[in-house]
Amino acid sequence: MDYQTLALDEHDGILTVTVHRPPARNALSQLTLTELRDLLTGLSGPRALLLTGSEGPAFIAGADIREMATMTPEEGEAFGALGQEVTRLIETLPVPVIACVDGYALGGGCEMAMACDFIYATRKAVFGQPEVLLGLIPGFGGCVRLFRRVGVAKARELIYSGRRVDAVEAQRLGLVNEVFDSRDEMFAAARLVLADIAANSPVAVSTCKSVINAVDGLGVEEGLRVELDAFRAAFTTDDMREGTAAFLAKRTPEF
């Protein structure tokens, strides 16, 4: 399929999705969000995804302010719902997703990154939720996901102030997994970690992702129940028989 605001590239089972709107600093327009939704709905095939922005000052400079400026409340709600749907599609994809952030990840850009499993960043990356500067609030999951990553006190501070943080501070806060000197190093490291993950049972990795998503917000007892059900289900898989047999036979498993 042809996309006007996305560039796709698939290598070794890793699909790189690049938001490509350089004149608008890769801001998320209705078209971009619709294209992301169409791409991600029912996506199967790739064993992992990298989400990034076209090379330049920004990863994604947020939701499209030009479009939002004249929206009615109903249009704003529909736009927010579309953005939330995209973040949820990313979050629940059965394969690992890494955000590769090189430049500004503001507002909806930070929210897109937070929907990914890990965030890798270059030293040039800048994160923030500056919606209140525009009379808006985070609408693509920022109020829901930021405190889960950085704790409620820091999330409140960042959301109320709109303050931007650089990559090193974002890593210290727990938002970013790793910081790299260059874009190339960041992509190489992302591919390396995905290659490591690819050596593991894909069913088990995907189950871990869905359990971690499912227990988010549950109490300990309920969470442990969800984990136990998934643990039980692992015993029905060929991967579990192969993985344990390979360990005992001192050979590499074939998943």
Positions touching ligand CO8 (CB under 6 A) are 24-25, 27, 57-58, 61-66, 76, 79-80, 83, 104, 106-108, 130-131, 134, 136, 138-140
Catalytic residue among 67, 131, 157, 178: 131
- Do residues 52 and 16 lie in contact, with contact meaning Cβ atoms separated by under 8 Å? yes
d(CA 117, CA 209): 8
* Residue 137 C-beta: closest distance to ligand CO8, Å: 8
**Is residue 131 annotated as part of the catalytic site, yes or no?**
yes
Task: For the CB of residue 227, give the shortest distance to ligand CO8 in the complex, in Å.
Answer: 32
Closest approach of Cβ 101 to ligand CO8, in Å?
13
Minimum distance of ligand CO8 from residue 243's CB (angstroms)? 42
Q: Is 111 marked active-site? A: yes
Picking from 191, 130, 201, 139, the residue whose alpha carbon sits closest to that of residue 162 is 130
Min CB(15)–ligand CO8 separation in Å: 24
Q: Are 60 and 109 in contact (CB under 8 A)?
A: yes
The least CB distance from residue 165 to ligand CO8, in Å, is 13
Count of CB atoms within 10 A of residue 244's CB?
Answer: 12
3-state secondary structure the chain: CCCCCEEEEEECCEEEEEECCHHHCCCECHHHHHHHHHHHCCCCCCCEEEEEECCCCEEECCECHHHHCCCCHHHHHHHHHHHHHHHHHHHHCCCCEEEEECCEEECHHHHHHHCCCEEEEECCCEEECHHHHHCCCCCCCHHHHHHHHHCHHHHHHHHHHCCCEEHHHHHHHCCCCEEECCHHHHHHHHHHHHHHHHCCCHHHHHHHHHHHHHHCCCCHHHHHHHHHHHHHHHCCCHHHHHHHHHHHCCCCCCC
Q: Which of 111, 185, 221, 242 is catalytic?
A: 111
Q: Which residues form the catalytic set?
A: 111, 131
